[in-house]
A and B are shown apart, each in its own frame.
Chain A
Amino acid sequence: MKLNFKPAPNYRSKQSTTGIMIDLTLCLLAVALFSVVYYFKAYGSALGTRVLINLVATVAAALVTEALWFKAVKKDIKEGIMSSYGWVTALIITLISSVNANVYALIISTVLAILFGKLVFGGFGQNIFNPAAFGEAILMSTFAATSADLLSGATPTVTYKGFGWISTADQLSGVIAQYGGLGKMFLGMYDSTMGSTCALLILACLAVLIIRKDIDWQTPVFYIGGVFVISLIVGLVRGAGIQYALFNVLAGGVLFGGVFMTTDPVTSPVSIPGKILFAIGAASFTLIIRWKSNLSDGVLYSILLMNMLTPMIDRLMDGSQIKDSGKLIRNMLIGSCAFIAVALLVGIVAIQPKKSAAAEPETTVIAAEALETDAVYDTAWADAH
């Protein structure tokens, strides 16, 4: 007869981290399935297969990278892979890329994301940046020129960028009509990054993940709500109408990023006021980057920026949630108001409509962005030295 010691409590909930990741994976697979079916139906088997190959290739790349890593650091490979969840990163990278993306570029970005975005920090739970966002940033800034030209139509965000992200209500209606109207956009029946189109499906995933307590509702709701409210005010002030807010939420990666990327617990704050501040900060950065940068969308970099601020937000929210609740709420309100105020200022004062509102093909825009980003980096590099 052996009686063992284990520290109390000796009672555990049934929910496990692996269970959470399985739920998340199933949701991502549902989104991926939608994407495969859409491209099969819209463009035939060549593009449908391409989506499938991209998904399989990146997941395989993630698993092989982790297997080699765990072999190198002399850990049990199967256990290492099963508690590192690299396939989630791979799925997200593929789903936030265009179908035009080169499969080798996707593979390299995934490998770098897993390796330098996660493993070198100490593995799952230790990384500072969302690995998928990290990988996608590499893809966008390094491999834009390798993209194929399979789809000639630009994504909604690129098209509207041609207008300078602000226009009259009529012009915006014209842009929305290009994609079949807001209803079609809600259902996701248009070309854009592979996984980010079907709002209905992504919101259904959000509901499932919240009901199954896999994620907190605060982060996605305050992120998506933040984008909606800020752009609603800007749209009303600038005469683009209520549809401006809906367009800002539906176009680009706001919904996908809000549901699958801002909610990454590893790289977001732990307390609820912290999560809300994080979400509102990301919403503000998303819009500011959309409106004022050379990039076509701001979701990715807004998440990376807020990832960077996460340790600071956590420190800001240190304390007892009861005894220091006043301080925590004050910090949250001050931070959120500051973010919102800057976004509103930029939206109301600083964005200007472009005179020639011609939609350019996505690839050239991205290539141009890449060049300009490089130029910015070069300047920064020169400044630093």
Chain B
Amino acid sequence: MSLLTGPMHHHLDGHKELTAHNPVKKLPEPDVVWIPLVNGNASCTPLVNVGDEVKIGTKIAERNDHFYLPLYSPVSGTVMAVEKKMTTAMKMADHLRIQNDHKGTVEKPFAPIDYEEATNEELLDFVKNAGMLGLGGAGFPTYVKFLKPENVDLFIVNGVECEPYLTADYKNMMENLELLKTGVLAFFKLSKAKKGCVSVKEDKHDLIAELKRIFEGTPIEIRTVPDIYPAGWERTLVLLLTGKRYDRLPIEAGCIVSNASTAIALGNALVNGMPITHKYVTVSGTGVNTPSTVIATVGTLAHDVVEACGGYSSDDCILCAGGPMMGRAIPNDQFVVALETNGLTTFKNEPVKTVACLRCGKCTEVCPNGLQPVRINAAEKIKDVETLKKLDVMSCIECGLCSYICPSKIDVTEGIRRAKKYLALTKK
């Protein structure tokens, strides 16, 4: 219905060539790591005390509210302290500080299993205990999606990586095709889906060829999506692949979606019996001297990761935890690479010249969720709660496309964030 709505997406200049063709650097193991004791909005309870010795793979904390998620130590050494630190979500949270003894002693927290022989219950328990979570950025515990897989038509592995600049998923897939295959097939089995697919952007020709080769003879298809933003958002991806929209969860459209890096992490757990200890992280943008995708230990300081990529190219920069569209700009680099971190993008701080809104409606045309950002901003200014409710503000996912497209360079998305906060406060 694009005659009456606009495209609801937009092609972005991805700048992925900055890092896509360079080799991946493995960063040296840091002397100290900080493990954020948070998952989403929930905090995790530490299972170790200050002074305890831990090994790589020691379970150090767990989330134990209505969801379960174990956290494992990525290094061997000593737990030094519980410290408050800012997270990539720009909230203060407890972190476990672990001093690395650089001995690299390993304690395998679970035994590898053969997913083909295991029952679905065993496999689901394995996914839960291996600490698998949505590595696309959300960090949602993965097992939850597979609790009741009923009437699943299509299991989708999301390798789209639609954020500009980021090539972490791309590099991870290219370098770990066998683990990807294992993880994808294990998830596919869990999903009990009729069909399964790995979806990537159509311009990734080398990756598409490799994926077709590795998945030959399996029920998994390779499906391409156009180079648009946000093609990697669950709703847009399901719409692109099945033509269906859903209200709350993809299962309503008969789909389960999992991130490609999550599948690789599961493959690694199944084959090697290891939890997630390292992450592919893209460091890119105009603010860093040698843009690269690196393998960083979970808990490494952002500052150290940027320094390992040649440092900042200017004394006045913006550092985003993630890609430039959804990644928050954090005014210091003392936060750490978390489990769900896949990029650090940094830019020279250039002034943005804002002029008045000309009401062009471009934000309304590109909003992937069909909202009307210009109307929301107008209603937010006068705190018109009734209109804000009518405009369905709460379903905004803050993808950033409205600010991106705005020719007047207004912080449209920020206006919507304010509206959401205001609406949440008035509800209480």
A binding-site residues for B, Cβ under 8 Å:
1-13, 15-20, 83, 123-126, 213, 216, 218, 265-266, 268-273, 275-276, 314, 317-325, 328-329, 332
Among A9, A18, A20, A265, chain B packs the most CB atoms within 10 A around the CB of A9
CA distance A325 to B358 in the complex (A): 24
B359 — which chain A residues lie within 8 A by C-beta?
125, 265-266, 268, 270
In the complex, B365 has a CB within 8 A of chain A = yes
Q: Which of B320-334 contact A (CB under 8 A)?
A: 320, 324-333
In the assembled complex, the CB of A10 is this many whole angstroms from the nearest CB of chain B, namely: 5
CA distance A83 to B326 in the complex (A): 29
Interface contact A321-B5, CB-CB below 8 Å: yes
Residue in chain B with minimal CB distance to A14? B13
Cβ contacts A to B, 16 pairs, < 8 Å = A2-B317, A3-B330, A4-B318, A8-B413, A9-B324, A11-B12, A13-B405, A15-B407, A265-B360, A271-B361, A271-B364, A319-B390, A319-B391, A320-B395, A321-B367, A322-B245
Give the number of residues in B that approach A within 8 Å (Cβ atoms).
66
Q: How far is the CB of B54 from chain A (nearest CB, A)?
A: 31
Q: How far is the CA of A280 from the CA of B245 in the complex (A)?
A: 31
Contact with A along B347-386 (1 / 0, CB 8 A): 1010010011111111011010111101100000000000
Chain A binding surface SS class? loop
Inter-chain contacts of B8 with A (CB < 8 A): 321
Q: DSSP class of B's interface residues: helix, strand, loop or mixed?
A: loop
Residues of B bordering A, CB below 8 Å:
1, 3-6, 8, 12, 164, 245, 312, 315-320, 324-333, 345, 347, 349, 352, 355-362, 364-365, 367, 369-372, 374-375, 387, 390-392, 395, 398, 400-401, 403-409, 411, 413-414, 417
- Does A322 contact B370, Cβ atoms closer than 8 Å? yes
- If A11-B164, A272-B361, A273-B4 touch, whether A20 touches B329 (CB-CB below 8 Å) is no
Q: How far is B318's CA from A178's CA once the two chains are assembled, in angstroms?
A: 66
| Shortest distance between the CB of A268 and any CB in chain B (Å) | 8
The 4 closest A-B pairs by CB, nearest first: A9-B400, A125-B356, A321-B370, A322-B370
A321 to B5, CA, bound (A): 7
Interface centre among A20, A268, A272 (most CB of B within 10 A): A272
Cβ contact within 8 Å between B1 and A13: no
Given contacts A83-B355, A276-B4, A325-B5, contact A13 B326 (CB under 8 A): no
Nearest B residue to A213 via CB reads B362
How far apart sit A324 and B318, CA to CA, in the bound complex (Å)?
Answer: 38
Q: Which residues of A have CB within 8 Å of B375?
A: 270-271, 314, 318
Q: Is the CB of B404 within 8 A of A3?
A: no
CB pair B361–A9 under 8 Å, yes or no, is: no
Q: A2-B317, A8-B400, A9-B400 are in contact. Are A318 and B355 (CB under 8 A)?
A: no
- Give the distance in Å from the alpha carbon of A79 to the alpha carbon of B221 in the complex: 56
A319 CA to B325 CA in the complex, in Å?
A: 25
Q: Which residue of B319, B352, B392, B405 is within 8 Å of A3 (Cβ)?
A: B319
Among B345, B356, B417, point to the contact of A124 (Cβ < 8 A). Answer: B356
Q: Is A12 within 8 A of B404, CB to CB? A: yes
User: A275 contacts B361, CB within 8 Å?
Assistant: yes
Give the one of A5, A126, A216, A328 with max B CB within 10 A.
A5
B311 to chain A, nearest CB (A): 9
- Of A7, A125, A275, A321, which contacts B358 at CB under 8 A? A125
Task: Give A15 to B403 CA distance when docked, in angstroms.
Answer: 12
A320 to B375, CA, bound (A): 11
Asked if A6 and B329 sit within 8 Å, CB to CB, the answer is: yes
Decide if B361 touches A320 in the complex (CB within 8 Å): no
Residue of A nearest to B388 (CB): A318
- Measured in the bound complex, the distance between the Cα atoms of B405 and A10 in whole Å is 12
